[in-house]
Amino acid sequence: MKIRRVLLIAFALAGSGHPARGQDYEILAARYAVIAGFPLRSLIPDAQSGEALDIAMAIWVIRSDSRVIVFDSGFFREEWLGRFNIQQYERPDRVLARIGVNPEDVTDIIVSHAHWDHMGGIALFPRATIWIQKQEFTYYTGEAWQEGGRSGGIDRADILHLVERNTAGAVRLVDGDSVQILPGITVFTGARHTYASQYVLVEGPQRVVLASDNAYLYRNITENRPSATFSPEDISRNLEAVRRMILLAGDASRVVPGHDAAVFERFPTVAPGVVRISAGQSR
């Protein structure tokens, strides 16, 4: 076990990339809605049935002097508001306006996965370059809609818009695991929340991993509990990915889950519904 752990640490650090000179990222989490009474078993498959909790619907901003990167984009199409007990909804771009980010300011969107509440807001930021895993793009623009495919949680309008952005040259397909896509920004795969979901390591004064739905809650991280996966066979891969997140960040406290309301209690508030995860050296 000790040998395996040492190898895993070496692999994680070797593939993590290096922060580019001059990059000093501020990392913010922005809550745009709450889903009340969400079944815990939908978040932690091995949880007992009957337990529910309120979850945060969030996007993340990673910004420097030269870039404004949005990790996941929320959603804005009204049909989803009626499908869940969504409360306190505000369109994601309007939440970002509270911290001085206008839609045209966003240079890049990193899509963790194609579900409606994570990719559904890409149309709100028309000038941004979109980064998505190549296999995620290929599957959800093709095989997912064939007989036997899995398109649950995917909004067809989002897919059509993604394809349109690709034809306009505004999509970058990330080919695989441990890829530095921007200075100080590396994406990793393996958690298999969807067909080819990805999470982000941000390197700066300290390392921060933004897990998105690859780890829904702090309980997934601290209790070694799986998140919902593309198939039951992916549960062990999800658990291994979360352990890797902790190694990459250097501490479990610097792994930020995708829907835990506690995120907005653990970090300092900078605007209504917005907290600062990392200030960067110059802030």
Q: What's the whole-model pTM score?
A: 0.91
**Any idea what DSSP says for residue 75?**
B
For domain 24-277, the CATH class is alpha beta
pLDDT at 3 over 80: no
Crossing angle of the two packed helices 2-14 and 235-249, in degrees rounded to 10: 70
pLDDT at 14 over 60: no
The mean pLDDT of 180-199, rounded to a whole number, is 98
pLDDT at 282: 55
Q: Which of 77-86, 253-262, 272-281 has the highest mean pLDDT?
A: 253-262
Transcribe 196-257 into DSSP letters: T--EEEE-SSS-EEEEETTS-SHHHHHTT-PPP-SSGGGHHHHHHHHHHHHHHHSSGGGEEE
pLDDT digits (tens, 9 = 90+) for 106-125: 999 999 999 999 999 999 99
Phi, psi of 273 (to 5 degrees): 80, 5
pLDDT at 4 over 90: no
What's the rounded Cα separation, in Å, for the pair 149 and 145? 6
Q: Are 191 and 27 in contact (CB under 8 A)?
A: no
208-212/255-257 β-pairing: parallel
Cβ contacts of residue 161 below 8 Å, gap of 6+?
A: 122, 123
Locate the domains of the chain by residue range: 24-277
Structural element, H or E, at residue 192 = none
Partners of residue 38 on adjacent β-strands: 53
pLDDT at 281: 64
